[in-house]
Amino acid sequence: MKAAILLAPQHIELRDIAQAEPAVGELLVRVRVALTDGTDLKAYRRGHPKMPMPTRFGHEFSGDVIATGAGVHDFAPGDAIACVHTAPCGECYWCTQAQEELCSRLMRTMLLGAYAETIIVPAHIVARNLFHKPENLAYEAAAFLEPLACVTHAWDALRIQPESCVAIVGNGGFGLLHAMVAKALGVREPLIIGRNQERLDLARTLHLGRVVDTKTEDPLTVIRECSEGRGADIVIECTGAREIWELAPSLARRGGTVVLFGGLPTGEVVAFDAQRLHYDEITLRSPFHLTPRSVRRAFDFLTSHQIDPRPLISARRPLHELGPAFADLLSGKGVKVAILP
């Protein structure tokens, strides 16, 4: 079977490799859709500490079961599935403290390799974070389960009201997914702040909230206008840029919450105004990854059709065009690309 191998930054090779057989508890899955995402784009651009090269990569996908390993009773060949690429062990310190997103084995046992014709889903994921895809849920929508679960996890601890002023800084794929979740949770008009014209136009077309173009508008002025001068109740940082991390608290109201969602490179150091954080009681949160609970909530959003993320797919390309797809994304074209092996 064919699989994409990331040999070095910006160097992908499509190879014929042996198709593995599923071991105990595992599934062999035919990949129907694999989505590009920000982590894979970072790996493509400059490498990634969790993906030593050469490596198979890609982790947002949906597909059909081809074969099952011994001991699998809930899935059978022909079943359509949706899953994420990790699952907690349930036994380590963090799992016992209800912090499954910090499971000590999570990153060591993550599943990579969705940019391929087939993939083996390991037993620990089959047991906890894999679902039957209903017929009325498109494969492309099902492939959004993992990024949507990460976004849902970020919202789990937030207190919101329909009139809450929610400012989402960054209008890439995650920023737009945050806007979709905000709307699904009842926020009337989240603010979507960014500068990429294609993505701003998409947010307007989808009626995701009020769009703030930073090339022509001052975000703080707009936020104050929408909050009677207080500042945002919730600021969600989705750019992964140090200067925006440092800016974010200045957009929040007294007693507000800043969600630092976009990750920074290892070793990056940020500075905040300590007086503002202390005397205005600003809460900083930096949610990481997902939990089985957030995966289930994301699955429910998708299967109930409260959220349809398919409009975020800018293009559909075959597996051998994965490199050009990432090159387009690097240049700022599109939001997400569906790879169809």
Model confidence at 50, in pLDDT bands (50, 70, 90)? confident
Q: What is the pLDDT of residues 248-305, one digit of tens each?
A: 999 999 999 999 999 898 899 999 999 999 999 999 999 999 999 999 999 999 999 9
Model confidence at 157, in pLDDT bands (50, 70, 90)? confident
Q: Is the pLDDT of residue 49 over 80?
A: no
Residue 210's alpha-carbon distances to 71, 89, 165, 183, 223, in angstroms, are: 51, 41, 11, 12, 10
Are the beta carbons of 218 and 235 closer than 8 angstroms? no
Give the burial class of 26: count Cβ atoms within 10 A of its Cβ; 0-12 exposed, 13-18 middle, 19 or more buried.
buried
Domain 2-149+290-340: top CATH class: alpha beta
Are the beta carbons of 100 and 292 closer than 8 angstroms? yes
Q: What is the pTM of this model?
A: 0.96
| Per-residue pLDDT, 42 | 87
Are the beta carbons of 139 and 162 closer than 8 angstroms? no
Return the domain boundaries, the chain.
2-149+290-340, 158-285
Structure tokens at 179: 């806007």
| Per-residue pLDDT, 284 | 97
Peptide bond preceding 54 in cis form (omega within 30 of 0): yes
| Per-residue pLDDT, 48 | 81
Q: What is the pLDDT of residues 68-78, one digit of tens each?
A: 999 999 999 99
CA–CA separation, 166 and 152 (whole Å): 15
CA–CA separation, 244 and 233 (whole Å): 17
Q: Which residue has the higher pLDDT, 82 or 263?
A: 82
* pLDDT average, residue stretch 23-32: 98
Shared fold status for 2-149+290-340 and 158-285: no
Among the listed ranges 38-42, 99-103, 123-127, 231-235, which one has the minimum average pLDDT value? Answer: 38-42
| Per-residue pLDDT, 265 | 85
* pLDDT average, residue stretch 307-327: 97
Model confidence at 47, in pLDDT bands (50, 70, 90)? confident
| Per-residue pLDDT, 51 | 85
Q: What is the pLDDT of residues 202-258, one digit of tens each?
A: 999 999 999 999 999 999 999 999 999 999 999 999 999 999 999 999 999 999 999
| Per-residue pLDDT, 247 | 97
Across the chain, mean pLDDT equals 96
Domain 158-285: top CATH class: alpha beta
| Per-residue pLDDT, 138 | 98
